[in-house]
């Protein structure tokens, strides 16, 4: 009986922990409108590499997130930017736009958003 309890406990632990292994994301930005985005990756190393691969030009990873929703806002080429994370897409978008506006942006449209598995 103890043996089955141990197996059941181990299975429950795997089920609860496994989805989090695929819940990392990154944002890379470059000059102008260039950006790269990656979600639901195994590691930050993988999400950073994917974000940089999808970003054209001289880009840099500026944001990493895990088990959450995240959004990126930019107010045109060379304009203000903002990024944020929250429990929902809507809240992440709102916070990213507020961050963009706090840096002098006006419209600050959402360029990309994503929610990692959690």
Bridge partners, residue 84, by sequence: 71
Model confidence at 20, pLDDT cuts 50, 70, 90, reads very low
**Domain range for residue 53?**
23-115
Top pLDDT among 89 and 116 is at 89
Number of domains in the chain: 1
The answer to whether position 5 is within a domain reads no
Predicted TM-score of the model (pTM): 0.78
The answer to whether position 42 is within a domain reads yes
The answer to whether position 11 is within a domain reads no
Pick from 24, 28, 26, 23: nearest CA to 81: 28
Please, where are the H alpha helices in the chain?
A: 2-17, 44-53, 89-102
CA distances from 25 to 28, 43, 71, 112 (A): 10, 8, 11, 12
The answer to whether position 91 is within a domain reads yes
Model confidence at 42, pLDDT cuts 50, 70, 90, reads very high
């Amino acid at each position: 009986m103890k043996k089955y309890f141990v197996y059941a406990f181990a299975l429950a632990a795997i089920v609860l922990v496994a989805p989090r292994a695929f819940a990392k994301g990154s944002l890379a930005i470059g000059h102008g409108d260039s950006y790269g985005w990656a979600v639901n990756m195994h590691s930050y190393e993988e999400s950073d590499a994917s974000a940089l691969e999808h970003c054209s030009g001289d880009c840099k990873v500026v944001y990493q997130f895990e088990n959450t929703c995240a959004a990126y806002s930019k107010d045109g080429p060379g304009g203000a930017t903002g990024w944020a994370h929250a429990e929902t897409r809507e809240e992440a978008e709102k916070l990213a736009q507020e961050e963009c506006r706090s840096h002098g942006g006006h419209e600050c449209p959402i360029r990309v958003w994503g929610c990692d598995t959690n």
